[in-house]
């Protein structure tokens, strides 16, 4: 089930990294949100923040694409999927639009995709492979999502999450000036966080990635909730 949490990513991670270590393992993200008194919020966020994501698609769709990215970061996944669908309808050769549709079914940090979501994500990924408006950086994003969804089963969640995380780490390293690559790598680290990692290695990495972005871009949707 897709839903948006009340907590933005960095605020969640800062709270998570402050939790006491446990000898028997670490709670899942959902468990930690429950412990912190957080509940699902079904209202549209009043302010999404600003995104500037360079894509190879026509200039007419870039504002809608950036809106979709902001919705993803706010975990408003259904609306993000609609936004990327609008981009694909306006520019059918835009590979990143189909990547966005697939990402709306990823459901990162909120338990992973449903069976229906896996089927729904594979269709736009096939389209992303076929269309021509994409560059090597964009292909790296698409390849990473393929590594998660190709052959995905719920039992294989940890393996597929690690594949995606490794691919996004490579993209973030290869394109250090792409702030969105850093943000999506950070989300991947949350998604693949081992439940028995009492040292909270991944969350601490994410704080190190996202907090400088927040300082540099205080209006970015990944900013902590105020």
DSSP secondary structure letter of residue 206 = H
pLDDT of the residue at 224: 52
Q: Each residue of 101-110: pLDDT tens digit?
A: 999 999 887 7
Tell which residue, 13, 9, 19, has the closest CA to residue 205. 13
Q: Which domains does the chain have, with CATH numbers?
A: 4-17+29-38+58-216 (1.25.40.10)
* Residue 161 pLDDT level (bands cut at 50, 70, 90): very high
- CB-based contact 94:57 (threshold 8 Å): yes
Mean pLDDT check: name the lowest of 15-19, 110-114, 154-158: 15-19
Grade residue 223 by pLDDT with cuts at 50, 70 and 90.
low
pLDDT in tens, 92-103: 999 999 999 999
pLDDT of residue 4: 37
Determine the Cα–Cα distance for residues 68 and 131; give it in Å rounded to an integer: 20
Write the pLDDT tens digit of every residue in 106-136.
Answer: 988 777 899 999 999 999 999 999 999 999 9
pLDDT bin (cut points 50, 70, 90) of residue 1 is very low
So what's the pLDDT on residue 221? 82
- CA distances to 3, 18, 62, 70, 212 from 138, in Å: 26, 35, 14, 17, 23
- Region 86-91: mean pLDDT is 98
Average model confidence (pLDDT) across the chain:
82
């Amino acid at each position: 089930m897709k839903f948006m949490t009340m907590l933005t990513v960095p605020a969640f991670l800062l709270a998570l990294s402050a939790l006491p270590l446990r000898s028997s393992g670490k709670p899942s993200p959902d468990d930690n949100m429950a412990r912190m008194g957080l509940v699902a919020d079904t209202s549209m966020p009043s302010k999404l923040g600003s995104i500037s994501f360079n894509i190879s698609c026509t200039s007419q769709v870039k504002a809608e694409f950036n809106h979709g990215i902001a919705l993803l970061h706010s975990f408003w996944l259904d609306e993000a999927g609609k936004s990327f669908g609008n981009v694909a309808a306006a520019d059918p050769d835009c590979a990143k639009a189909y990547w966005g549709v697939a990402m709306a079914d990823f459901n990162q940090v909120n338990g992973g995709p449903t069976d229906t979501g896996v089927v729904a994500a594979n269709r736009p990924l096939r389209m992303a492979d076929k269309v021509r408006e994409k560059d090597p950086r964009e292909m790296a994003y698409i390849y990473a999502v393929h590594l998660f969804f190709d052959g995905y089963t719920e039992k294989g969640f940890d393996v597929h999450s690690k594949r995606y995380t490794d691919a996004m780490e490579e993209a973030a390293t290869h394109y250090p000036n792409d702030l969105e690559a850093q943000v999506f790598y950070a989300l991947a680290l949350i998604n693949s966080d081992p439940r028995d990692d009492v040292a909270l290695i991944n969350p601490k990495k994410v704080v190190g990635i996202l907090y400088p972005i927040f300082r540099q871009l205080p209006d970015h949707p990944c900013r902590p909730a105020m």
